[in-house]
Every structure is written in structure tokens, then in C-alpha cells.
Amino acid sequence: MAEIRHLNANGFTTQAQQTWGPFVSGTIEVRSGKVKFGIENTGTRVLGATPFAAIALEIQQTGTNDGYTFYYTAEDSAGTLSRPWGNTVDGAPTSLLLGSGGVFGAIGTYGYKVTATNATGETIGSVEAIAVVTVTTQRVQLTWVQTPGATGYKVYRTATAGTYGATTLRATIVGGATVSYIDDGSATAAGTPPSENTTAGVGPTYGTAPVDGSFNQTDKVIAVTPAGLAIGQQWFYWAQIRVPAATSEIGNRRTLNVTPVES
């Protein structure tokens, strides 16, 4: 099943729509501000991989227009990292119980989240992985799929699934190719999964917008790696409205709906 969630620039908040105000171009072209968005694959299969050639951002307009409006999109030039995703149906990292060597303080259900990091910041947490520890000497092995561009990861653990307090950081991992971690149940440290993706900088814009010349008015084919938009993976882009000279847009508020489609 193919499902997409639209995001704003922080990689966390769902974006329902974006509305720009009316424009009057006069004798010169008028350009709106550049706005950053994201999408996330919340479905049950990879989008854009075989047997489908790609997925694209299909630009749609609501309402009527007095003149002609260009919509421009461009990939995020700041390299915002996707949140880590996994190889399970729901996109979570996988967990595996190991037989001995653990020092858990109590048996019970533990939740885990993984974030990806780079020199600029940290992504939001992955979908939660659950491990049910039945013997305190067990260990939990977590595995996830590599996040392109990541230079490391952080692992968070909670004894109350779904709730991550201020001291739930279990490990800081150096190296983007390291995609597993074994938790022996040792105490967690200060830290909690962030609610904003800062891997392209801090808000509100989260990164540097592409230059005008890099925007393209055609539907944008999403170039993600590995091939396709993986389950749980995010992809970021910028959008801009450009109104040609001598075109009146008075009285029309423009809403840009960006719909990913397979092509």
C-alpha cells in the first residue's frame, strides 16, 4: 500500500497545505518566498523502486487564476538527512533478544528509537522498536537500514513504550555505516529524541534555499537513495511561486498542493 505524509521543514509536523498571498507582477516578474517541505513514506512498500520507475512531485493548483502562475520546486540543497527507517512493515528498526550478558534492572517491555546525525544536527526519532525482556540477563540487539549522508546515530531507550524522558539516551554511535547496536541494559544518560530535524540547520528555514536558477517548473522526480523512497524514509524539497511580468493575480490566494505520484 502506498501512503505519503506531507511534512513541514522540521521533519516532524504534518503539513496539510501551503497558501501564498495574491501577487501583482507589474512590469517585472514577481517571486514568492521559498518554502521548504518534506514527505515521508508511511505505507507498506518502497515507492519509486521496481516495478515503478520513479515517484514525482505532481504540482497541482486550486482555485482560478487571472493570469498564469509558475510553480517551481527544487531538491533540498542543504542535505537534510532522512530519519532512520527499518526493514519491517512499519518502518521501525528491528530488535532481537540475545541470551546472556545483560544487566537490565527489571524485566518488561522496552521501547527504542534511533536518530541519525551529521555535523549540523540530528533527525527526529525512528518509528519505535519494541523489545520484551523476560530475563534481566538478556540483551537487545537493534538493527536498522543505513541513512544516506549520516555520520552517526543515537539510540534511545525507555521503560515506558512511547514516552521518552530527559534521560533516555542509551548510546552515541560514530560512523554512518554502523547500523546495529547491542544494549545490555546499562543505565541511560541525559538526552531525548528531538522533535525537529536539525541536520540542515536550525529553524525556521532549516537550511539554505536553492538559488533561483536551480528551480524547475516541471513535476519533480524524486532522486532518493537507495532506489526509491523506503518505508519510513523522508525526502525534503523547496517550492516557490513565480509570476511573469504583466500578469495580475489580484484577488486569488494561491494554494500549492504537492502530490507524490508514481510514474
Give the mean pLDDT of the chain. 84
State yes or no: pLDDT of 240 exceeds 70. yes
**All cell numbers assigned to 65:** 487564476
State yes or no: pLDDT of 60 exceeds 80. no
* pLDDT recorded at residue 165: 97
Domain residues for 148? Answer: 94-183
Is residue 100 domain-shared with residue 173, that is, in the same domain? yes
* pLDDT recorded at residue 227: 63
* pLDDT recorded at residue 78: 76
- pTM greater than the 0.75 cutoff: yes
The Cα–Cα gap between 237 and 86 comes to 22
**Is 152 domain-assigned?**
yes
- Number of domains observed in the structure of the chain: 2
**Is 109 domain-assigned?**
yes
* pLDDT recorded at residue 222: 65
Q: What is the CATH number of the domain that holds 14?
A: 2.60.40
Q: Which residue has the higher pLDDT, 151 or 45?
A: 151
**All cell numbers assigned to 167:** 534521560
**Is 120 domain-assigned?**
yes
Q: Which residue has the higher pLDDT, 140 or 18?
A: 140
Is residue 105 domain-shared with residue 167, that is, in the same domain? yes
Tens of pLDDT along 242-256?
777 777 666 566 666
* pLDDT recorded at residue 221: 67
Is residue 208 domain-shared with residue 149, that is, in the same domain? no
* pLDDT recorded at residue 155: 98
**Domain-ending residue, one of 183, 216, 234:** 183
Is residue 100 domain-shared with residue 150, that is, in the same domain? yes
**Domain-ending residue, one of 183, 210, 244:** 183
Tens of pLDDT along 170-224?
999 999 999 999 999 999 999 999 999 999 998 888 988 888 777 776 666 665 5
* pLDDT recorded at residue 167: 98
**Is 189 domain-assigned?**
no
DSSP state of 210: P
Residue 212, φ and ψ in degrees, nearest 5: -55, -40
**Domain-ending residue, one of 121, 149, 183:** 183
- State the average pLDDT over residues 100-120: 96
**Is 86 domain-assigned?**
no
Is residue 155 domain-shared with residue 75, that is, in the same domain? no
Is residue 172 domain-shared with residue 111, that is, in the same domain? yes
Tens of pLDDT along 80-90?
999 998 777 66
Is residue 8 domain-shared with residue 67, that is, in the same domain? yes
Q: Which residue has the higher pLDDT, 134 or 91?
A: 134
Is residue 106 domain-shared with residue 72, that is, in the same domain? no
* pLDDT recorded at residue 1: 67
The Cα–Cα gap between 80 and 238 comes to 12
* pLDDT recorded at residue 215: 72
Task: Cell 505520484: give the residue.
Answer: 261
The three state secondary structure string of 143-202 is ECCCCCCCCEEEEEEECCCCCCCCECEEEEEECCCCCEEEECCCCCECECCCCCCCECEC
**Is 23 domain-assigned?**
yes
**Is 53 domain-assigned?**
yes
